[in-house]
Amino acid sequence: MKVLFLNLPNKDRIVRRFCGSYNSPSFLFPPQELLSCASAIKVWSKADVSVIDAIAEEKSLISVIDIIKDKRPDMVVSMTGVECFDSDVNAIISIKNQMPGIKMVAFGYYPSIFHQEVLDNTNIDYIIKGEPEVCLSSLVKAIEDGKDQDAIPGLIRRGSKTSIPPERIGDLDKLPFPDPSLLLTNNYKEMLIQGSIALIQSSRGCPFACNYCVTSYGRKVVMRSPENIVSEIEFLIGKGFRTFRFNDDTLILNKARVEKMCELIIQKKLKIRWTCLSRIDTLDQDLLTLMKGAGCKRIYIGVESFSQKILDYYQKGYKSADILQRIELVRRAGIQSSGFMIIGAPVEAADDLAKNKEGLRRSKLDFVIISKLTPYPGTPLFEKLKDKMEFKLFPYRNFFKDLSYEKNMLMVEKELYRAFYWRFTMVTSLLKILAEDPGDFFKTGMLFLKFLITNEQDKKHPNFI
């Protein structure tokens, strides 16, 4: 069977993950979930697979349709994003209309939780709920062997009245490594980090109770072994990569596992650089020093707020008093830190904004990323606020009914960015980054300055880093 994996086209540079999507003019990640799925199907099902990344290859929908007509696959598999859901499903519908004989398969967060609504409003043939690799492999085999498709866990088939709940993959070490040679380009980069980037997912799931968060496949955590992770790093080095992003929701869930991974990298003398995501309360000096020795360049930290009231509202489970101290530990280890902040909680007041300003001014963060709160269906916070939300899947919309919210939050966002970046202490740090990567620095800097100085209130601005 010929299976084509398509990272769907979009007028913007979009990075899609199962749990979200980003407008990313200054950075670009490979379509990791699609790549993992394609590699698994190639090994397990012996399918003839190909991958089109219409974002990285800058392909329009028309040119993608022409390529598909030329390749004549039996099946096209795509993952839909979140904020780009409208565009994604419309592209799938157009492809199916042009080539009705091709089986269209979709997975992603919204298809997983709204599978029947997606089938009712599109011409998609199959929905995969949750992790796609095992389910899709089983589907390919069932089609080839003429066996019952309704017995496949996690598969929703058009026209079927039955489905079996999805099953989590219990041993991620058994997954084939996502093979970047399936992609036609290595045009992937992390902002202000030198070198083409490859992604590594060393675990799936997140156990923490943050009420706003869409996790990668749920709260249950399944981890790969340190040995398996380092084997993938060596595999990717063999493909020409030296720069990596750990794509886990939180890398440091099991300290001993990360320590072992770092020790193996150092023992094997693998000269690499990498970044990861972490919670503030998982960081300690000994581990950070070891991570630095193993090549850790930057940690993205979920700060969210310097107000304890807001942290409690989001059910973060840590103390605001610890934040500055933990960020200082990262600086001492010689690792860059980038903090995520969320603004716009309904309980947020002027004193919370003041605490965020003060916290940002005092922090040793190298970067900060500020986002307005958007509750998503399937999260506890959405259930709590759904009467305040305007949500519809077709056509897609998800925003607060209070129309002044967007305008006010944009003003707060700019205010906090200025509080952080308009400081003399940032000059030295930014000059060092300029010396390392002047091209990216100027490109991002111009976008950022334009955002800060213009009065546009309604346009969605890009994710800068």
Tens digits of residue pLDDT in 257-291: 999 999 999 999 999 999 999 999 999 999 999 99
Q: How far is CA 295 from CA 152, 286, 380, in A?
A: 41, 15, 37
Q: Could you tell me the domains of the chain?
A: 2-157 (3.40.50.280), 189-453 (3.80.30.20)
Tens digits of residue pLDDT in 297-323: 999 999 999 999 999 999 999 999 999
pLDDT along the chain (465 residues), means of 10: 97 91 86 97 96 96 97 98 96 98 97 96 97 97 94 94 90 97 92 90 95 91 98 97 96 97 98 96 96 97 97 96 96 96 96 96 93 95 96 95 89 91 72 64 65 58 56
**Residue whose structure tokens are 């709160």:** 373
Q: C-alpha 425: how far from its chain's center?
A: 31
